[in-house]
Amino acid sequence: MPDFSSPILVGFIAAVFLLAGFVKGVIGLGLPTITMGLLGLVLAPAQAAALLVLPSLLTNVWQIAAPGWTVLLRRLAPLLLGIVAGIAAGSGWLAAQRPATWTGVALGAALVAYGALGLRTRHWRVAPAQERWLAPLAGLATGLVTAATGVFVIPAVPYLQALGLDKDGLVRALGLAFLSATLALAASLGHGGAFGREAGLASLLALAPALLGMGLGQWLRGRLAPERFRRWFFGGLLALGAWLVLRPLL
């Protein structure tokens, strides 16, 4: 793990988690994308992912804590199992990555494309009959991408948005998917030795700014109309994707 005796490094990490928590509070996602993107400037991917574990775990538990989450859990079980299977299949990939990786650029390009399409008035929808076979495939693909990048967004987010859930239902569904990915990623990092006692303590310290940011973001989300939320949601995806694409050039 890096040397946390530097006040500049500690302040930078706290600011990153505050920003990432705020974005997650507003649109229901963005914590792993922002933290992996920004912390990748000063940390190796496996180190950044280890810091992410506890903030991601607790913010997702907070995100799903509302009536009706058990119904969503049953509906999304094939997707969640696919995510866990994909991360298990790609175990060790993240630790082998160098700080700069073109995998992040490809992920960013996918987010930009999806965000731009989502800002259009026509939307893709998944019919109930398609969920049976599409959910595990989307989950498996998401797990493999997570194993390689530490970011659990594509294709789970487009799939969940295509289910036609309302604003709060979508945010809870995202929380369930990300919680499953976080638990599986933590197990993968722990098995590879990247999430030990020191990394766990550092991740615990990152929890406070992430929760503070998320609380502020949720306060703002509660004041957004559904159409405005949709624009923020897809605009946020587009901005996160653009950041991943441009990061190697900065």
The identity of residue 152, as a single letter, is F
- Domain total of the chain: 1
Whether residue 2 lies inside any domain: the answer is no
Whether residue 207 lies inside any domain: the answer is yes
The token pair at 99 is 């700080």
Whether residue 61 lies inside any domain: the answer is yes
Whether residue 139 lies inside any domain: the answer is yes
Question: Minimal CA–CA distance to 150: which of 208, 192, 212?
Answer: 192
Q: What is the pLDDT of residue 192?
A: 64
Q: What is the pLDDT of residue 29?
A: 79
Whether residue 1 lies inside any domain: the answer is no
Whether residue 26 lies inside any domain: the answer is yes
Q: What is the pLDDT of residue 27?
A: 82
Whether residue 130 lies inside any domain: the answer is yes
Range of the domain at 51: 7-249
Residue with the two structure tokens 């008035």: 121
* Average pLDDT per block of 10 residues along the chain, 250 residues long: 73 92 85 79 77 89 84 94 93 63 69 76 78 94 85 85 87 91 84 69 89 92 79 82 78
pTM value?
0.79
Q: What is the pLDDT of residue 50?
A: 82
Q: What is the pLDDT of residue 77?
A: 96
